[in-house]
């Protein structure tokens, strides 16, 4: 049953992001939630799972679960901090500006970067982390401030986020 739930989460997250990349100019969360509801109901019929996607909040929750699973499976360090960065930067995946660019971290180079998928944004972060976070004993929050990824208030913002999931292998 857990495996079916993971497949459902990944499927709906992928459906959501493919739609988002095609419609990057303006995200309409209400219509997206309806599309996901229909997909979930049809998938529920085929898998026997009793779940329904009734709101944009449910869609974002599924997407956040997919993002977190992807982070957990990656080689990133400080995964629980990284997911909180995604949450903070995108406003719990509600921020249309970054979400329309699949930019989960607010990366920019003169302009905000655009990624073809949220997975590509995570891969970019992983490469960025591998390139610059060389002293693994350094406090990660201090590293983010030192790299000017954030200001001195950023660590407190991340620590205030209530996200209790953890990766088994972090």
- Within-domain flag for 169: no
- DSSP classification of residue 164: -
Q: Comparing 107 with 149, which gets the higher pLDDT?
A: 107
Residue 147's CB is within 10 A of a number of other CB atoms, namely: 12
Residue 107 lies in a domain: yes
What's the confidence (pLDDT) of residue 55?
76
Question: In the numeric block, which tokens belong to residue 155?
Answer: 């660590």
**What pLDDT is recorded for position 149?**
86
Written in H, E and C, the secondary structure of 140-158 is HHHHHHHCCCCCCCHHHHH
In a domain, 167, yes or no: no
Q: Is residue 155 part of a domain?
A: yes
User: Do residues 82 and 67 touch, judged by C-beta distance below 8 A?
Assistant: no
pLDDT of res. 33 = 44
Q: Which comes out higher in pLDDT, residue 151 or 88?
A: 88
**Is residue 150 included in any domain, yes or no?**
yes
Domains of the chain: total: 1
Strands (E), the chain: 108-109, 111-112
Q: Residue 85's closest CA among 112, 76, 25?
A: 76
pTM over 0.95: no
Distance CA 165, CA 13 (A): 18
Q: Is residue 90 part of a domain?
A: yes
The DSSP code sequence of 88-100 is HHHTTTT-HHHHT
- pLDDT, tens only, 111-168: 999 999 999 999 999 999 999 999 999 999 999 999 988 888 999 999 999 998 999 7
State pLDDT tens for residues 8-37: 455 555 555 454 455 444 444 444 444 444
DSSP of 7-73: HHHHHHHHHHHHHHHHTTT---HHHHHHHHHHHHHHHHHHH-------SHHHHHHHHHHHHHHHHHH
Give the containing element (helix H, strand E) for 119: helix 118-132
Task: Supply the CATH number for residue 29's domain.
Answer: 1.10.530
Helix axis angle for 56-73 and 118-132, nearest 10°, is: 40
- List the domain range (segments joined by +) for residue 137: 2-160
Distance in angstroms (rounded) separating the CA atoms of residues 75 and 21? 26
C-alpha of 93 from chain center: 7
| 59 occurs within a structural domain | yes
Q: Say if 29 falls within a structural domain.
A: yes
């Amino acid at each position: 049953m857990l495996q079916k739930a993971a497949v459902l989460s990944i499927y709906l997250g992928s459906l959501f992001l493919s739609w988002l990349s095609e419609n990057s100019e303006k995200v309409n969360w209400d219509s997206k939630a309806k599309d996901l509801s229909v997909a979930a109901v049809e998938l529920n019929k085929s898998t026997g799972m009793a779940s329904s996607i009734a709101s944009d909040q449910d869609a974002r929750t599924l997407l956040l679960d997919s993002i977190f699973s992807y982070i957990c499976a990656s080689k990133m360090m400080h995964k629980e901090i990284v997911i909180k960065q995604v949450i903070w930067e995108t406003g719990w995946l509600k921020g249309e500006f970054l979400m329309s660019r699949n930019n989960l971290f607010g990366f920019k180079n003169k302009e905000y970067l655009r990624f073809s998928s949220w997975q590509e944004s995570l891969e970019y972060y992983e490469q960025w982390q591998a390139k610059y976070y060389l002293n693994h004993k350094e406090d990660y929050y201090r590293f983010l401030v030192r790299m000017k990824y954030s200001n001195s208030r950023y660590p407190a913002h991340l620590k205030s986020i209530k996200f209790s999931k953890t990766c088994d292998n972090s």
